[in-house]
Structure 1
Amino acid sequence: MRYVAIGDSFTEGLGDELPDGTPRGWADRVAAGLAVATGEPVEYANLAIRGRLLEPIVTEQLDAALSLTPAPTLITLNGGGNDMMRPGGDMSRLVGLTERAVRRCVDAGVRMVLISGADPSGRLPFGAFMRRRGELLTAAVGELAARYALPFADVFHDTEIRRAPYWSPDRLHLNAAGHQRAAGLILTAMGHPTAAHVVDPGPAESRRLLAEARYYREHVLPWVHRRVRGRSSGDDRTAKFPQWTPVGSV
């Protein structure tokens, strides 16, 4: 099996860092899970880069994925989350981009798995707006997967993963527990039933005024400043595993 993951920060693994600071994430965990489930060697590449919009994911990253030697046998695709956070986002355009990527993989004889990202909207500014867009995109991608008979991992509608213990302090990216749960959901959708990770509820999250002010200062304002400057958190970054990397269990 030769597995390539393409996408943005969700697929890169932001929020689930190893001791050396390298992001791990659900895709690394899925690659290891596939090796265990199949009992066969897995070659793995991860071309995802934080901050990427869907168009470069399904053009630049997909081009690179299909150009790997030997060719991939499996590609997972998630994207659109960064597009949804920007004004004027066109959900129908995102669906069209996704379908073109699906057709390219079908034509190349590569199995594709479509994945919807986890829903962070309940704890974010303008969260209701984001959830409406997320619902539209998830429904459309689910229909697309059904039409092409592709596996579809609907992480967006997993209500457990919406709880605070699965999220990083920025409330936008999953933490290690969240990525572990997502990996279980995705492996199950791929046909390898895996128990999804569950964490204890723990103490209630503090949403007091001082805590909220610190959150806006440390996470929201830097994001706004990047948007104003036309910058992305992924500028000048490259993929963490651009070539085939052998994977064992973790």
Structure 2
Amino acid sequence: MAEKLQTPRPGGRRLYVALGDSFTEGVGDRSKRLPNGVRGWADRVAEQLAKAEPGWEYANLAIRSKRLRHIIAEQLEPALAMNPTLVTLYAGGNDILDFGTDIEDLMDDYEHLVAALTASGATVVLFTGFDVKVSVLLEPLKRRNTLYNRRVRELAAWYGAVLVDYWCFDAFHDPRMWDTDRLHMSKAGHKYLAAQVLDQLGVRHTISLKEWEPPARLGLRDWERRQRRWVHDWVLPLFGRKLRGVTLGDRLSPRWPEPVRVPAKGGLKKLLP
């Protein structure tokens, strides 16, 4: 296995725990059979780990819409109690989109979380955030994203974490890498990210990525129609939820709350009836 992964726990146990929000839960990569109706890059990483070296276990505690404070309060202790070999963490993206967020306070809390995870002895993987071009209305948040990414890079170096510099992936400038809400990755985006994570860990994998022709240019009429549909289907419901103080993750549970042994053949779907 890759040098970047720590020595297995006593008894040879290898456990991967994924923490975070919708990014890690797998939103945008739909799968009716899997928990919460999604698959995502973390499931794909777990499956490839088991293919490369059978015996890996996997838990995914991420739930969509969670803020950093929720991840610390709800996911940190359960993750540490599992004694993981590998932890992936993406947290803070939803906080950046909240207009009242103090980015310095946010990153102080983020550092405490990273410190606790790395102190466990697990290999910890951190992610920068991508500069999603959703709307000019969100451009004021670009500075927050820049500060977030700078601190994540610094903390990865300081604490010896593996960095997946998502911000640098030019492939995500292609709109086909994004779901219809323009904030979450599509199936193709999740596959691409899974491959990047595995590459950073030095794990051989069998993920094949699409080679697309350049995207077709939209005419003005088609562009306007898509804009109207996006506002109707995603923007207005989002603001409605904010006004009501609810989120899409309020009634959801983690997809894989307890470690499961990942089949070396057949993937996680093989575990389901």
- Pair in the same fold by TM > 0.5: yes
Partner residue, 1:84: 96
Partners in 2 of 1:198 and 1:161 — Cα distance? 13
Root-mean-square deviation over aligned CA pairs: 2.0
Partners in 2 of 1:166 and 1:126 — Cα distance? 22
Give the unaligned 5+ runs of structure 2.
Answer: 1-13, 268-273
Relative to structure 1, the CA distance from residue 205 to residue 53 in structure 2 (aligned partners, 3 Å threshold; closer, same or farther) is: farther
Greater Rg over alpha carbons, structure: 2
Partners in 1 of 2:208 and 2:135 — Cα distance? 24
Query: Any idea what SS the aligned residue of 2:182 has?
Result: coil
8 Å Cα contact 1:161/1:181 also seen in 2? no
Task: Provide the TM-score with structure 2 as the length reference.
Answer: 0.83
1:150 positional shift? 1.2
> Is 1:58 aligned to residue 69 of structure 2?
no
Partners in 2 of 1:2 and 1:205 — Cα distance? 46
Partner residue, 2:106: 94
Partners in 2 of 1:2 and 1:160 — Cα distance? 30
8 Å Cα contact 2:118/2:161 also seen in 1? no
Match of 1:197 among 209, 230, 234: 209
Runs of 4+ in 1 over 6 A off after TM superposition: none
1:111 positional shift? 2.2
Partners in 1 of 2:209 and 2:153 — Cα distance? 23
Partners in 2 of 1:62 and 1:3 — Cα distance? 14
> Is 1:112 aligned to residue 124 of structure 2?
yes
Partner residue, 1:229: 244
Partner residue, 1:28: 43
Partner residue, 2:3: none
Partners in 1 of 2:248 and 2:32 — Cα distance? 21
Report the number of matched residues: 246
User: In percent, how many aligned pairs have the same letter?
Assistant: 37
Partners in 1 of 2:21 and 2:140 — Cα distance? 20
Relative to structure 1, the CA distance from residue 183 to residue 27 in structure 2 (aligned partners, 3 Å threshold; closer, same or farther) is: same
Q: 1:1-250 to 2 correspondence within 5 Å?
A: 1-20=14-33, 22-37=37-52, 39-68=53-82, 71-120=83-132, 122-192=133-203, 197-200=209-212, 201-204=214-217, 208-247=223-262, 248=264, 250=267
8 Å Cα contact 1:2/1:43 also seen in 2? yes
Query: Any idea what SS the aligned residue of 1:236 has?
Result: coil
